[in-house]
Structure 1
């Protein structure tokens, strides 16, 4: 068992209780506290679930679940500071005879065991901008529950909670008004990837109370169902690959492994073939880099003028892999139907850019004969609805990252992975950036009109326009 004392922005204290590696509860000697976001509730252990209004824990090997906290939307009685009673409406409309489950079951079992439940009241204040506040209301007991009939064969459970006596009285209006008058303490999220990345991706805003806009975090490209991609033929290397004609992957790369032994990329190339799932070499082979995911502590942060950005908390040496640009893989037809193209990344269309590569593409056997059939259809990666932290990396006219086409899990050159590597040494807390490579007057809206957007990167070589 581990205990952790946490002081929240000068407004209160929580003693978090960890049992078996999980933050299970918070001991309630907290001062009356007002919070700015559900992420704060999570951090101090008041309410761990950011998806559900009711948080619960499992006990006795999962046979018992107990509700430990409720986030309740403010009712008129609460706004009038009548906190002694709370009516909570269940989450599921059930049919007659249907077994109670989920959060409703957790509340029912908390009632049966007389387990105290924390109640947090959520307030939304509208004005020039919409502000949300959470006020900790104290400990409650679930006194009873009822089944309210919706129609002949449907009902919904309602739970009646009463506040324990002896707790400090709370003036909701004064608390919220005081919190609004205080300077912003910002927001902080421990891991926006929710455990999908091997290193947590934190998000911090020290400018305002705004949190990143919600999106579905994924750690691998989502391929369209209509594309069945076969794994590529692999090498037969018994140990780690080396520069040898015996290694099929080395020959795909023009006779030399593109990575240093330390993991850094030797030079930017039109296309790189990493060893893949059919290769016999071990996972530690130096020709496996981007597929292993991030290796540095990266953080999403709010910038002063460019929205959200990404920075590293560690030093990143030149040539090291940073992250992949991940989202939904779309063909040209599907990409054209997307109304918002802010997170759309065109791929597989720059192998033969003479101004960029000169004759370097001729060193890659698969590129020597020009575009193949698989490159006739254009594809894009869209990170608007689902993606990873790369969607927050900003443009710069003098970037510290460059994009690298990589193949490892298939051989279709029209659908390469877009890997981001450091093109210079990057210091801790230095914003990450890459060149979006837009063409001035080359971006159009759905009606064919030219779109214009100023560049705010602030570099000495800034052109003044993003497109």
Structure 2
């Protein structure tokens, strides 16, 4: 990107905020900070630029590599760079040059410094796995003034520089302390119910009232009727794993490119994705096998203030990450129309299918109906997923006019386009504890008398239309 001059702001350094970046924005790699112009040092904690014959600090990354700490919500004591011990060498005194000098000059000039905080967060499926599964995160904390600096003896015996930074007033709060407090809590606030996923480690939490989630049978996979047995898909012969650069029938079905990267992240949405299946000779680690492996995130069902039950995650989620499948009982559309009840969850699938690509957004083939009596108009017929009595955590995901999930149709064990697996992926970087939502895009819903039914939307988005249907 550097060579092709594709860095944001042409790679130029700047003081103050970076356009398009807001307090709380989260990143997972230092290179992301370089690309958007937040912090140009791939390893160094202090970035700086020359202005008026002096070097001034533009940004720092406080990642805990040194003895950095917070003295109150708006104060950061930051340790200078250099002098750390290495293989076969002792720690040496830090020198007032480069980044250390830049921070001192910023104090004298009164210029603002961007602070990016780094910390470890839990990505385990349950709290017992916390120590085994930690991932780094970088969060923009806002602008700080350098108020003071001094020299003292560090933990390795050598002298280090200490800088006192004070957060500029009037900025949104990061609330990182609350996040850390949440992750360390042994007891959760409110009513924590037993595992609602029958061993999958998904719990329900209610801090609003004493209500419990509606009863249902938890299903980790789709339940097909006995009379319908889809023919297995023809598999590939890629014994060493599939690739976008080799001849592979699964790759060809996806338009010549595997839609996932080697980290299992969805990099391109399609009307339909073909993952490798049971008939394929590639190993289970093939990077064209993602959603079929099931839920890997620590998801939680929780009671919302005005939308009933919802779903959130106990760790942050990078864009393109697989969330969960929508499971339930597979019905033909006519059967689904006969099932009406107060707690009905119907999802029409396999309709309006075409071969045109999608941008990051939501497929229009999925309609979620939560009121009764209702019936969805289906032009070409098809199948419906009923998650009323059987389903998984996906049945609790709420609607939003500004969603953070996209819906992706996936086939792997069979290739019947009428009944794809309905998979949810993150369409943006999602902070920890933010509710997971997608756009139902139901359209008009009629009752049995032909009257248009209305259901208000309470998503709270600035783009809210006021109605789900």
Unaligned runs of at least 5 residues, structure 1: 1-184, 362-374
Distance 1:421 1:186 in 2: 29
Structure 1 residues 382-405: Cα deviation after superposition (integer angstroms, max 9, x where no partner): 101110011110000000001000
1:289-438 superposed matches below 5 A: 289-340=290-341, 342-352=344-354, 376-438=380-442
Measured after TM superposition, the shift of residue 315 of structure 1 is 1.0
For residues 390 and 247 of structure 1, do their structure 2 counterparts lie closer, same or farther at Cα, with a shift above 3 Å needed? same
2:253 aligns with 252
Distance 2:358 2:463 in 1: 18
Structure 1 residues 170-211: Cα deviation after superposition (integer angstroms, max 9, x where no partner): xxxxxxxxxxxxxxx74212421111x3xx101100111111
Matched, 1:454 2:452: no
1:35-434 superposed matches below 5 A: 186-195=190-199, 197=200, 200-340=201-341, 342-352=344-354, 376-434=380-438
Distance 2:202 2:439 in 1: 23
Distance 1:207 1:357 in 2: 37
Distance 1:300 1:240 in 2: 36
Tell me, yes or no, if the aligned pair for 1:186 and 1:210 is still in contact at 8 Å: no
Distance 2:215 2:433 in 1: 24
Measured after TM superposition, the shift of residue 350 of structure 1 is 3.3
Structure 1 residue ranges (4+ consecutive) displaced by more than 3 angstroms after TM superposition: 353-358
Structure 1 residues 7-34: Cα deviation after superposition (integer angstroms, max 9, x where no partner): xxxxxxxxxxxxxxxxxxxxxxxxxxxx
Distance 2:192 2:356 in 1: 45
Measured after TM superposition, the shift of residue 245 of structure 1 is 4.5
Structure 1 residues 349-384: Cα deviation after superposition (integer angstroms, max 9, x where no partner): 1322869679xx9xxxxxxxxxxxxx9541111101
Secondary structure in structure 1 of the residue aligned to 2:445: coil
Tell me, yes or no, if the aligned pair for 2:351 and 2:380 is still in contact at 8 Å: no
Quick check: 208-217 or 418-427, which moved more? 208-217
The alignment's TM-score, normalised by the length of structure 1, stands at 0.54
Secondary structure in structure 2 of the residue aligned to 1:203: strand
Distance 1:391 1:462 in 2: 22
For residues 466 and 379 of structure 1, do their structure 2 counterparts lie closer, same or farther at Cα, with a shift above 3 Å needed? same
Secondary structure in structure 1 of the residue aligned to 2:408: strand
The alignment's TM-score, normalised by the length of structure 2, stands at 0.54
Secondary structure in structure 1 of the residue aligned to 2:336: helix
Tell me, yes or no, if the aligned pair for 1:187 and 1:210 is still in contact at 8 Å: no
Unaligned runs of at least 5 residues, structure 2: 1-188, 364-378
Measured after TM superposition, the shift of residue 414 of structure 1 is 0.3
Distance 2:355 2:345 in 1: 23
Tell me, yes or no, if the aligned pair for 1:245 and 1:251 is still in contact at 8 Å: no
Structure 1 residues 18-68: Cα deviation after superposition (integer angstroms, max 9, x where no partner): xxxxxxxxxxxxxxxxxxxxxxxxxxxxxxxxxxxxxxxxxxxxxxxxxxx
Tell me, yes or no, if the aligned pair for 2:269 and 2:358 is still in contact at 8 Å: no
Secondary structure in structure 2 of the residue aligned to 1:421: strand
Give the paired residue count: 263
Measured after TM superposition, the shift of residue 417 of structure 1 is 0.3
1:464 aligns with 466
| Larger Rg over CA atoms | 1
Structure 1 residues 218-259: Cα deviation after superposition (integer angstroms, max 9, x where no partner): 111011222111210000001121113521100111111110
Measured after TM superposition, the shift of residue 342 of structure 1 is 4.1
Distance 2:436 2:398 in 1: 7
Distance 1:395 1:262 in 2: 28
Secondary structure in structure 2 of the residue aligned to 1:380: strand
Distance 2:197 2:232 in 1: 27
Measured after TM superposition, the shift of residue 457 of structure 1 is 0.2
